Structure 1
Amino acid sequence: MYRRKSLISKIYKKVQNSKDFAFVLADFYGFNSDPDQVLRALRRLTQDKVLLRIGKGLYAKAKKSAFSDTYVPAGGLLAAGRQALQKIGVKTLATAAERAYNAGISTQVPTGRVVGVAGRVSRKIRYNGVNLSYERV
């Protein structure tokens, strides 16, 4: 698919072999390449639907949707968003709705679009018109 020793093939291999759903730019700077070259490689992998851009400097592993011919973040946007926030140093927690549901207090299933955070977060995480919102816990 890609030339064997190229930066794109190295990043592709790293993404495919990783168990993570989300990646930040710092994950790819260890290849002794110029940051502009890394961004070009990530842009190419985004065009080839290997990665999906979910925020500024945030990428998610892509998988083909079971319901349509579109690509969605592997593991879902919530899992990718939580993992991306943890990688940039934000502590994520369960939201009030998730805690109530898990404790059996509520039967209403949480929507999966809200992430509980310990502090203030201004980072926007979104894909295909779906935004993650934050709840300070």
Structure 2
Amino acid sequence: MNSKSPPKRRMVDRVLDAVRANPSIVILRSELAGLGSESQLSRVLAMLLKDAALVRVGHGIYAKTRWNRFAKGPMPAGTFEQIAAEACRKLGIQIEHGQLARDYNAGLTTQILMVPIVSTGSRRITRTIQVGTKRLLYERNVGKASRR
């Protein structure tokens, strides 16, 4: 008997299955790297972005989308704050509230923060994390070194 091997699944189907199986909202390109070559993955991710199955958050960072009945189209599956926090966690960037948010939480000011600013300690970060028009801004807490 001539036994046939099962047909190969398309790369798009493998990537979509991996995205759906991942419980988090944020998907890193490195998490999908084992599914095919770099050029194949680039083509598939471009197709998923065009079909609005994913939204690009930053270099190599994507977020899942879901249908929004009010906007009558796909929207990111979480809030910008959730996506930014999860992306930073996955990238190993330790963040905390920025100085303005700490002042507001402590009751020192009544001004509501409109721009998301996070503190990265003394670490210098240049990575852009952006969904639509909302962009994450970084501040560094660097003390001035005393000279003798």
Same fold (TM over 0.5): yes
Alignment of 1:87-98 (within 5 A): 87-98=90-101
Residue 124 (structure 2) aligns with: 120
Any idea what the Cα deviations from partners look like across 1:36-87, whole Å, max 9, x if unmatched? 1111111111112111012221111112335312433221122212222222
Moved more, 59-68 or 43-52: 59-68
Question: Is 1:38 the counterpart of 2:41 in the alignment?
Answer: yes
Residue 61 (structure 2) aligns with: 58
Q: TM-score, normalised by structure 2?
A: 0.74
Report the identity percentage. 27
For residues 56 and 24 of structure 2, what CA distance do their matches in structure 1 show? 15
Amino acid at match of 1:91: Q
- Out of 14, 18, 26, the residue aligned to residue 18 of structure 2 is 14
3-state SS, counterpart of residue 54 of structure 1: strand
* Misfit runs of 4+, over 6 Å: none
1:78–1:112 CA contact under 8 A, matched in 2: no
Question: Is 1:133 the counterpart of 2:137 in the alignment?
Answer: yes
- Out of 60, 64, 68, the residue aligned to residue 71 of structure 2 is 68
Show structure 1 runs of 5+ residues with no match: none
| 1:11/1:112 CA distance change after superposition, 3 Å | farther
For residues 75 and 108 of structure 1, what CA distance do their matches in structure 2 show? 25
Question: Is 1:29 the counterpart of 2:33 in the alignment?
Answer: yes
The structure with more radius of gyration: 2
Give the root-mean-square deviation of aligned CA atoms. 2.4
Q: How many residues align?
A: 134
For residues 68 and 118 of structure 2, what CA distance do their matches in structure 1 show? 23
3-state SS, counterpart of residue 85 of structure 2: helix
For residues 70 and 91 of structure 1, what CA distance do their matches in structure 2 show? 33
Q: TM-score, normalised by structure 1?
A: 0.79
3-state SS, counterpart of residue 126 of structure 2: coil
Question: Is 1:77 the counterpart of 2:80 in the alignment?
Answer: yes
